[in-house]
Amino acid sequence: MINLKKVEPGHAILVHAAAGGVGSLLSQWANALGATVIGTVSTKEKAVQAKDDGCHHVIIYKEEDFVARVNEITSGNGVDVVYDAVGKDTFQGSLACLKPRGYMVNFGQSSGTPDPLPLSALAAKSLFLTRPSLMQYTATRDELLATAGEVFANVESGILRVRVNHTYPLSQAAQAHADLESRKTTGSVVLIP
């Protein structure tokens, strides 16, 4: 799970792909921590799910410029943290949405790898950028157990509701990947052996 230690009550955060498997969980968790959650999605149907998962504001990025809308929602202040699993299509806009000393967490690239970023681009607002890998946060058995324990405790308490909206037989793994990449899915995608 993405580390949410930078999210505090009163923070504004932006979650791209808010109706996806990880986006859904991030939105729920950040809402439970007291943050104002702004989510981006591609369709009205996904917007309904994102609202249900705790997004206070949902932007349908095919209909609205998400940077302008975030600016409007935050009265020009920007967000404290951006969680971006999309990559190339949202990367520069995500940086623009951050307030000074904001955190950008890029944990995926469904639209492709972002263009190289000169470090000086972060300097204008003293931004922080990270590309976390689960393997670095669960490198030891104790870290794995602690992380898994926290996630499962939040599922058990009802803070997190895992959505499994799409299942595929293992023989259709290529189709599952194609559907994920084309943003046809919501929630978690499960392959059944």
How far apart are alpha carbons 20 and 18 in whole angstroms? 6
Reported as a single tens digit per residue, the pLDDT across 125-161 is 999 999 888 888 899 999 999 989 998 999 999 999 9
Please return the burial class of 125, using the count of CB atoms within 10 Å of its CB with bins 0-12, 13-18 and 19+.
Answer: middle
- Residue 47 shares a structural domain with residue 119: yes
Would the CA dihedral through 2, 151, 46, 163 be positive or negative? positive
29 and 108 both lie in a single domain: yes
The confidence score (pLDDT) of residue 5 equals 62
Residues 35 and 81 in one domain: yes
Residue numbers in the chain where pLDDT is lower than 70: 1-5
Q: How far is CA 120 from CA 30, 58, 104, 123, 129, in A?
A: 30, 31, 15, 5, 12
Q: Is residue 171 part of a domain?
A: yes
Is the same domain home to 38 and 118?
Answer: yes
pTM: 0.88
The total domain count for the chain is 2
Q: Is residue 4 part of a domain?
A: no
Same domain, 183 and 100: no
Give the residue numbers spanning the domain of 44.
12-131
| Separation between Cα atoms, residue 131 and residue 120, nearest integer Å | 18
The torsion angles phi and psi of 178, rounded to 5 degrees, stand at: -60, -40
The pLDDT value given to residue 47: 97
CB atoms within 10 A of CB 91: 23
Predicted local distance difference test score (pLDDT) of residue 188? 82
Establish if 42 belongs to a structural domain.
yes
Q: What is the CATH number of the domain that holds 80?
A: 3.40.50.720
pLDDT at 185: 82
Q: How far is CA 117 from CA 59, 113, 122, 129, in A?
A: 26, 11, 9, 11
| Cα–Cα distance, 22 to 162 (Å, whole number) | 9
Do residues 27 and 115 both lie within one domain? yes
Q: Looking at the domain assignment, is residue 32 inside a domain?
A: yes
